[in-house]
Amino acid sequence: MAQRSFNPFHPGNPSQTITVGTSSAATALNGSTNNMRLAVELQNAGSAVVFVEFGYSSGVTATVAASYPILPGQSKLVTIPAGTTHVATISGTASQTLYVTVGMGI
């Protein structure tokens, strides 16, 4: 059986701090012109769930009802399509802190 090779996450750009509110807001990812980025580490330092969506423009929106949840204190590594430029965030409680680090690997 062939052995699979997994590369650890390698941060490709400086981390970003996003203050998440109760209305959806899109933030340009650091290095948004870098088409090689394939993963994002999301760390919710807040006390409430933060919801995220990824997209190719500032028009991307997140919703509490249907977007990807990041629980309080949780860190997730998410694969994203090449060329993704923005992350939209929202929370049911204002002023949550989300750290976003783009890079490559899993």
Residue type present at position 90: I
* Residue 2 placed within a domain: no
The answer to whether the pTM exceeds 0.85 is: yes
Q: Is residue 92 part of a domain?
A: yes
Print the domain residue range for 67.
Answer: 10-104
Note whether residue 75 is domain-resident: yes
Question: What CA–CA distance (Å, rounded) separates 94 from 101?
Answer: 22
Please list the pLDDT of the chain residue by residue as tens digits (106 residues). Answer: 566 666 788 888 899 999 999 999 999 998 755 555 689 999 999 999 999 999 999 999 999 999 999 999 999 999 998 889 999 999 999 999 999 999 887 7
SS3 for 21-85, per residue?
A: CCCCEEEECCCCCCCCCCEEEEEECCCCCEEEEEECCCCCCCCCCCCEEECCCCEEEEECCCCCC
